[in-house]
Amino acid sequence: MIPPPARSAFLDLDYDRLSLEETLHHIAARDPAAHFGYLVTPNVDHIVRLENAPPAIRKAYEQAELCVCDSRVVSRLAKLAGASLTVVPGSDLVREIMARVIQPGDRICLIGGSAETAGKLSTLHPEITVLQHSPPMGLLHDRAARALAIDFVAEARARFILLAVGSPQQEVLAYEMFDDGRITGFGLCIGAAVEFITGEQSRAPRLVQKAGFEWAWRLASQPRRLWRRYLVDGPVIFAMVWRWQRARKDGLG
């Protein structure tokens, strides 16, 4: 049994205090035949949505084996509020898993994405088997479609399950896989991370990422799709941090 890492609380979520290397070590050391566990990577969008989310969605985050902060913005806000979070970008994590953790003969199950994405992933890694299942839209409210996805993963017997159907449906699906009892391996709720690996989407330059402005790069790249997320919904997090910090001070007082 791998010992659980230390955790830090911020905005009603408990984050594992792990570096990218430590997260990789935890995942690589995990027995592929062990009961299914999964990783979530909350960012600003996830956290804002969670504030008023139904209990089932919050439970999906709370039951994750690993919860790592995906956002430098969140990490910096946490520091200002007196909490300490390490940053493990989901896209970096998946890239390193594919480059350094997977072994020849491993099976990878991709839930979501296009046939083109799965094909490119297979071309990049011919030493592994990539199995893909593409659920329909509206997965969060389609229990039958989620059940089909769970059956597919149970039969796939993959070492890693890449859940690329967007948040919060990927986290809910991961929790239901955990609760199902038939599934082994490790799941990663990673959104569009595979598309960065295959070259279908481009990440911001490294300097932009380190400066914490990758969100602005993405907004400039896809303004019609992302303007509301980053300019309307996202800023709500500042009020959330203020309330959280005030509640902490009141509790300590």
For residue 2, what pLDDT is reported?
A: 62
Q: Tens of pLDDT along 199-248? A: 777 666 677 677 676 766 676 777 777 667 767 678 889 999 999 988 88
What is this structure's pTM?
0.90
Q: Where are the domains of the chain?
A: 7-252
Residue 116, Cβ neighbours under 10 Å: how many? Answer: 11
List the structure tokens of 183: 């599934």
Query: Residue 50: is its pLDDT beyond 60?
Result: yes
Summary mean pLDDT of the chain: 88
Query: Residue 41: is its pLDDT beyond 60?
Result: yes
Q: Tens of pLDDT along 159-201? A: 999 999 998 999 999 999 999 999 999 999 988 888 888 877 7
Give yes or no for a contact between 145 and 136, defined as CB atoms under 8 angstroms apart.
Answer: yes
Say whether 54 sits in a helix, a strand or coil.
Answer: coil
For residue 5, which of 66, 58, 61 has the smallest C-alpha distance?
66
List the structure tokens of 107: 């099976």
Query: Residue 253: is its pLDDT beyond 50?
Result: no
